[in-house]
A and B are shown apart, each in its own frame.
Chain A
Amino acid sequence: MHDVAIIGVGLHPFGRFGTKSAIQMGAEAIRLALADAGAEWKDVQFAFGGSFEVDNPDAVVGLLGRTGIPFMDVYNGCATAATALEMTADGIRAGKYELGVAVGMDKHGTGAFTSDPTYYGAPSWYGENGQFLTTKFFGMKINRYMHDFGITSRTLARVAAKNYRNGVLNPNAFRRTAIEEDEILNSKMLNYPLTQRMFCSPDEGAAAVLLCRADIAHRYTSTPVFLRATALRTRRYGAYEVHSSWAAVDEDVAPTVYASRAAYETAGIGPEDVGVIQLQDTDAGAEIMHMSENGFCADGDQEKLLAEGATEIGGRLPVNTDGGLIANGEPIGASGLRQVHEIVRQLRGQAGDRQVPGNPKVGYSQLYGAPGTAGVAIMSL
């Protein structure tokens, strides 16, 4: 198995862009990643492209050059970008290719996602009865977690306020206005205890990551970031997950826990080594639970950690330094590659106003989504 390096990252801003197509945004993200690495499109030997709305992300070749490369389109719920990243890395690890790109792009309408529940393995009546809502699942999960581990609504508001604040520092973010904790708490209740300002929203954007075999990375950059591990996992029998009409009495942990453990083991790195963190914050509660599911704290410690500011850019566990999903929104196909973009910028010391102090050496990113799929990546200098 070959080691894999990230030599270029590119991000089309997240937000709303009128009639501009997702394909155009994807092509721009790839151009930015190529420029970042000093590489050219003709150097790219293969690609994986992820999207929810776009049937054929590979149509970016029409804007970049029809070089005839294998270009595989993937969709895997909110873990789509983690899937594109892992498949691209695997192509290089296996020795089949030397250099490839993972790209994600999406252009969603406003409001919560909806679909046909049978496409998610749920009964069709699940939607008719008003249960087919991801926001409801997250409300239920964090409500139980808060009850079991003594987390307060104030802590939920602290998470959201932090991510909006970090978004102010990020020129590529969708939401760039700070929102105070009380305004977050007093915004419309959507699914108790989660209010409107605690949720991310679907939007538009694209991100691309250029990967190559580690031993040739020096041709492109003096500061390669090594992709030390990727892991994808789906829910086990006892896990209670999004779009479930039932759950087993014997509880199992969430798929994120299995993905996280596998990634740490592969990387030979522990949570104590990580200096900058990206977690799936579909809502403020998800970030809280994902802190412990990924090994960064014990269940319940989040109450104290948030009050101390431990997850701020200057804290000891900086989480979602670019504002996360709450400030960037979620173009599904691109979201996880936005996370990788931020980690790479932070490890290279290129994060500008939001740079984590102390030269972090290891970064970690996690995605989670319906109907119970998680993806983790660990990167280091």
Chain B
Amino acid sequence: MPTVPFAPDVFTWPADEPQLIGSRCGVCAAVTFPEQPSCPRCGSVEMARRLFPRRGTLIAWTTQEFLPKAPYAGGETQETFKPFGVGLVQLGDEIRVEGRLTESDPEKLHSGGEVELTIIPFREDGDTQVVTFAFKPV
């Protein structure tokens, strides 16, 4: 089954070692995720594309235990929905990004834990597998 990212320009794909795509300010070195056309710190428009490290540290986390309303597009129903974790992950010393976690058991999640970027199935569109990004504990 062919795989396509759930949205363009979020992570490099296809790739053996995918990376999240953001931007970095040429004036003050602030970084953003995803890319944006100007700097959130100094307002400069000199933003360049930046690929982030794949590994990081879990700064904060929670669980998503109910089916989100639209615009959620995971395709589950109340019956098929399974809770997922959500975390704020610091990648290197560059940036903290918010994303899904492959683990949703509070007993197995803790602040300071090491995690790695992974690409996981999101939903099926006909004969296409749509994929999203997540972090898995290592």
Enumerate chain A interface residues (CB-CB to B < 8 A). Answer: 111-112, 114, 116-117, 123-125, 127-133, 136, 139-141, 143-144, 147-148, 188-194, 237, 240, 244-249
A114/B70 contact (C-beta < 8 A), A128-B6, A143-B60, A245-B97 known: yes
Residue contact B71 to A116, C-beta cutoff 8 Å: yes
Residue contact B7 to A130, C-beta cutoff 8 Å: no
Within the complex, the shortest CB–CB distance from A250 to chain B, in Å, comes to 10
A130/B106 contact (C-beta < 8 A), A124-B7, A143-B60, A191-B64 known: no
Residue contact A131 to B98, C-beta cutoff 8 Å: yes
Residue contact A237 to B68, C-beta cutoff 8 Å: no
Residue contact B7 to A123, C-beta cutoff 8 Å: yes
Residue contact B41 to A144, C-beta cutoff 8 Å: no
Question: C-beta contact mask, B92-121 vs A, less than 8 Å → 1, else 0?
Answer: 011111111000001000110000000000
Tell me if B62 is interfacial: C-beta within 8 Å of chain A.
yes
Within the complex, the shortest CB–CB distance from B118 to chain A, in Å, comes to 14
Q: Which of A128, A194, A248 has the most CB of B within 10 A?
A: A128
Residue contact B34 to A123, C-beta cutoff 8 Å: yes
* C-alpha spacing A87/B65, complex, angstroms: 40
Tell me if B38 is interfacial: C-beta within 8 Å of chain A.
no
Write out the residue numbers on chain B whose beta carbons fall within 8 Å of the beta carbon of A248: 30-31, 41, 95-96
Tell me if B13 is interfacial: C-beta within 8 Å of chain A.
no
Given A111-B69, A190-B66, 13 extra CB contacts under 8 A: A123-B34, A127-B70, A127-B71, A127-B73, A129-B132, A130-B86, A136-B64, A141-B60, A192-B63, A192-B65, A240-B96, A247-B95, A247-B96
Write out the residue numbers on chain A whose beta carbons fall within 8 Å of the beta carbon of B7: 123-125, 128-129
Write out the residue numbers on chain B whose beta carbons fall within 8 Å of the beta carbon of A128: 6-7, 71-73
Residue contact A132 to B65, C-beta cutoff 8 Å: no
Q: 13 pairs across A/B with beta carbons < 8 Å?
A: A127-B68, A128-B71, A129-B122, A130-B68, A144-B59, A147-B111, A189-B63, A194-B62, A237-B40, A240-B88, A245-B97, A246-B33, A248-B30
Within the complex, the shortest CB–CB distance from A129 to chain B, in Å, comes to 6
Chain A residue with the shortest CB-CB distance to B92: A249
A249/B95 contact (C-beta < 8 A), A128-B71, A140-B60 known: yes
Task: Give the interface size bracket for B toward A.
Answer: 35 or more
A125/B90 contact (C-beta < 8 A), A143-B60, A246-B97, A248-B95 known: no
* C-alpha spacing A132/B63, complex, angstroms: 13
A136/B71 contact (C-beta < 8 A), A128-B7, A246-B95 known: no
Q: Which of A124, A192, A245 has the most CB of B within 10 A?
A: A192
Within the complex, the shortest CB–CB distance from B14 to chain A, in Å, comes to 18
* C-alpha spacing A163/B98, complex, angstroms: 31
Residue contact A127 to B72, C-beta cutoff 8 Å: yes
* C-alpha spacing A167/B87, complex, angstroms: 34
Within the complex, the shortest CB–CB distance from A316 to chain B, in Å, comes to 31
B window 32-84: CB within 8 A of A? 32-34, 40-41, 59-66, 68-74, 84
A140/B97 contact (C-beta < 8 A), A123-B7, A247-B88 known: no
A130/B72 contact (C-beta < 8 A), A124-B7, A191-B65, A240-B88 known: yes
Within the complex, the shortest CB–CB distance from A350 to chain B, in Å, comes to 40
Within the complex, the shortest CB–CB distance from A192 to chain B, in Å, comes to 4
Residue contact B86 to A143, C-beta cutoff 8 Å: no
Within the complex, the shortest CB–CB distance from B114 to chain A, in Å, comes to 16
Residue contact A136 to B86, C-beta cutoff 8 Å: yes
A114/B71 contact (C-beta < 8 A), A245-B97, A247-B96 known: yes
Question: C-beta contact mask, B118-138 vs A, less than 8 Å → 1, else 0?
Answer: 000010000000001000000
Q: Which of A117, A148, A188, A190 has the most CB of B within 10 A?
A: A190
Q: Which of A117, A129, A141, A248 has the most CB of B within 10 A?
A: A129
Residue contact A189 to B6, C-beta cutoff 8 Å: no
Write out the residue numbers on chain A whose beta carbons fall within 8 Å of the beta carbon of B93: 249
Write out the residue numbers on chain B whose beta carbons fall within 8 Å of the beta carbon of A114: 68-71
Residue contact A125 to B10, C-beta cutoff 8 Å: yes
* C-alpha spacing A143/B33, complex, angstroms: 23
Write out the residue numbers on chain A whose beta carbons fall within 8 Å of the beta carbon of B63: 139, 189, 191-192
Residue contact B64 to A130, C-beta cutoff 8 Å: yes
A139/B132 contact (C-beta < 8 A), A132-B68, A246-B95, A249-B96 known: no
A188/B65 contact (C-beta < 8 A), A129-B132, A130-B100 known: yes
